[in-house]
Amino acid sequence: MQTNFSIAQLADPNVSAVNDILRKCVHCGFCTATCPTYVLKGDELDSPRGRIYLMKQAFEDGTGATAKLAKHLDRCLSCLSCMTTCPASVDYMHLVDMGRTHVADTYDRPWHDKGLRWVLAKVLPYPSVFRLALIGAWMGKPFRKLMPSRLRAMIDLAPSSIAGPSDVDRPQVVKTDAEPRMRVAMLSGCAQQVLRPSINEATVRLLKRLGCEVIIADGAGCCGALVHHMGLEHEGHEAAKKNITAWENAETKYGKIDAVVINASGCGTTVKDYGWMLRNDDAWAERAANVSNKTKDITEVLTTLGLSGLTDTLRPKLAYHSACSMQHGQKLKTEPVELLKAAGFDVSQPAESHLCCGSAGTYNIMQPEWASELRDRKVKNIRDLGVNVVATGNIGCLTQIANGMGGDDAPVVLHTVELLDWVCGGPKPKELDRY
């Protein structure tokens, strides 16, 4: 794609990066076929190619973002399906990140949109605040019909019971009985530890049983993805710096960390991107790249370690839902499936497995109608398989798909690591009691 930036514009490293990305696009349109929003609506402006044109125009003009740009970028899920399809390796992920920052910096959103974004940025990354908000949401459930759609979407995402903080999420070192095979730092995250603490608990149990020393570093917290995807660049960078510092300090105190382990693929995609996010910051670029290079999804670490201690308990019929951040963001397509198979599960995958379930960070709150359409499509494809259990590696997908299932006979949605922990000698997830 031909671009028309001035020399002065290209002196800005971000504009220069935008230019490099745009020039790779040959406007072939292959990406439109696998873009969930284009598949749903058929509007070119809600396709990757359409959004790329809008961003090109905005960056070349160098003026503030328009309502049109904001609308079509807001409707993008950042699912990165387009990147998997693109034959020219266009780096849409970083382009849309910079596009969102441009919108956040220069576009004056309507007050209610600004207000909701502010609330989400101040609540979701902080487990104790989020826990209180969920209690409020739970109390608001009887009045949900009176609420606007975005508030209703928030209320609907609140679980029916809210567990207290888990012991496993406080800063600590979980030792092994023998010399550890690996020393890993586990990101305990933010929303996940409130919505489903059993995921971190299963992760630590399984890693320990397989011979890993697990560090929950003091000061590590939200990966920054939530604010980063809202275009809040400064806040995203601050979250990254906090985590980098926490893991560096842990390494100084406890010894070399072999891997930063992440069990939410959305967070993994972001932490693996810290090096790029902080590339223009001399004080942080190298430190961020070091962390990104040693960041692994839990299924990558388990593949390296190999499963052991498998029990002969009867496995339920299982479907694997690959989160977009897992298959498109981190390009991890085989590891989770192969692990589940090695653990004795008969694994099937739904039709249209490349399409997003509509969760996408805060998308199901900000764009509830489109998110629900995608969720219902995903749920139908899963239910067509006639399975008892759905495994996935991202808390956002887990919550979204479980909310769409409905009915007592519906498949149970669990994290991959909860299932692996169970069949390797851990406790049976309580949701499986009916099988």
- 350 with 378: CB under 8 angstroms? yes
Q: How far is the CB of 73 from ligand SF4 (least distance, A)?
A: 9
Q: Nearer Cβ to ligand SF4, position 59 or 92?
A: 92
- 158 with 230: CB under 8 angstroms? no
Q: How far is the CB of 213 from ligand SF4 (least distance, A)?
A: 37
Q: Nearer Cβ to ligand SF4, position 78 or 188?
A: 78
Q: How far is the CB of 353 from ligand SF4 (least distance, A)?
A: 14
Closest by CA position to 311, among listed 216, 389, 390, 421: 421
Q: Nearer Cβ to ligand SF4, position 18 or 79?
A: 79
Q: How far is the CB of 50 from ligand SF4 (least distance, A)?
A: 8
Return the number of other C-beta atoms located less than 10 Å from residue 218's C-beta: 12
Q: Which residue has the tokens 């049109």?
A: 68
Return the number of other C-beta atoms located less than 10 Å from residue 293's C-beta: 13
What whole-number distance in Å separates Cα of residue 39 and Cα of residue 32? 8
Q: How far is the CB of 88 from ligand SF4 (least distance, A)?
A: 4
Q: Which residue has the tokens 């693996």?
A: 272
Q: Nearer Cβ to ligand SF4, position 41 or 242?
A: 41
User: What are the two backbone dihedrals, phi and then psi, of residue 350, each rounded to the nearest 5 degrees?
Assistant: -70, 160
Q: Nearer Cβ to ligand SF4, position 29 or 62?
A: 29
In our burial notation (b when 16+ CB lie closer than 10 A, e otherwise), range 41-77 reads eeeebbbbbbbbbbbbebbbeeeebbeebbebbbbbb
Q: How far is the CB of 1 from ligand SF4 (least distance, A)?
A: 7
Cα Rg for the chain, rounded, in angstroms? 21
Residues found near ligand SF4 in the complex (CB under 6 A): 25-31, 35-37, 48-49, 51, 76-82, 85-86, 88, 90, 92
Q: Nearer Cβ to ligand SF4, position 187 or 277?
A: 277
